[in-house]
Amino acid sequence: MNTAEYLRRLGLPGLLNTPPSAESLRALHVAHVERVPYEVLEIWLGRATTVDPLESAERILRGRGGYCYHLNGAFSRLAMELGYEVTRHVGGAQMRGGEPGVSGNHLVLTARGLPSDDNPGGEWLVDLGLGDGLHEPLPLVEGTYRQGPFRYGLRPSEVVPGGWRFDHDPGGSFEGMDFALTPTDMSAFTKMHDHLSTSPDSGFVRVATVQRRDASGADILRGLRLSRLGSGSHSVTLDSARDYYAALADVFGLSLDDVSAGEKDALFGRLHDAHEEWLAATPA
């Protein structure tokens, strides 16, 4: 991994030779969720990806993002390169109206050995792959936490013994997430990654999603619908390719320099068709 270039991508080149600390972990986490978007556009572009952290990191260095396996996978490798004690865990994100469980549809990270005034035990929940979820790491301690407009809960899981449950804010895009504390490697997510990136039943295949978290809320683009959660909440439909790609660049930092003009035209065509199908199926 080109650690120095990754830190420059995050705007934190000075952390290259800085000893691990809770303060630096927080800075890395915040910079990552603000600068590297949660996005599934590779699926809609017909480009296959893997869960290999180095492949994910290379794509991030080209100005792109990814979803949980990519974002948390690459970040875990970056943190390890910087000397952090980071562990990967199998998790399960619960959508609104769904059932809780540890299905492997989510990769979770924890870090330890980083005590701070608000977390003397030094264990942290680190998760850059929840879209409108965490802005900063959470102490791995049961309790209620507020980050910007969102109120989160952390408690023992009811579906996995010894595991943890993250409860999202009622205004968030999903219900919550459970994860086991048992360490795992990236191979545990290969099968589910294949399903999420190819199956017609996958939400990623059905809806082209892009999300970015900041201190005061989250920007969410689903298909052609751009919404803001938190400060300045609003929602607007992007009716033209020009508006769509301008929003990707201006709101999410996605200039798509690695996508040709022809690919962009085809992508917007697919998005427009999907939007029309959604409108036709939506009650007035």
pLDDT in tens, 121-175: 999 999 999 999 999 999 999 999 999 999 999 999 999 999 999 999 998 989 9
Strand, helix or coil for residue 71 = helix
Strand, helix or coil for residue 264 = helix
Of 6 and 282, more confident: 6
Q: Is the pLDDT of residue 222 over 90?
A: yes
Q: What is the mean pLDDT of residues 49-67?
A: 97
Q: What is the mean pLDDT of residues 68-87?
A: 98
Inter-residue contact 44 to 270 (CB < 8 Å): yes
Q: What is the mean pLDDT of residues 254-266?
A: 96
DSSP 196-230: HHH-TT-HHHHS-EEEEEETTEEEEEETTEEEEEE
The whole-angstrom separation of Cα 257 and Cα 22 is 34
- Give me the residues paired with residue 209 across strands: 222
Of 175 and 283, more confident: 175
CB atoms under 10 Å from CB of 144, counted, come to: 10
Q: Is the pLDDT of residue 44 over 70?
A: yes
pLDDT of residue 284: 62
Choice among 51-65, 220-234, 251-265 with the minimum mean pLDDT: 220-234
Query: What domains, with CATH codes, occur in the chain?
Result: 200-281 (3.30.2140.10)
Strand, helix or coil for residue 4 = helix
Of 217 and 97, more confident: 217
Inter-residue contact 190 to 28 (CB < 8 Å): no
Q: Is the pLDDT of residue 113 over 90?
A: yes
Sign of CA dihedral 236, 240, 246, 248: positive
pLDDT in tens, 31-43: 999 999 999 999 9
103: enclosing H helix or E strand: none
Q: Is the pLDDT of residue 281 over 90?
A: no
Residues of the chain with pLDDT > 70: what percent?
Answer: 100
The whole-angstrom separation of Cα 115 and Cα 113 is 6
* List of residues 6+ apart from 123 with CB closer than 8 A: 110, 111, 112, 114, 139, 140, 141
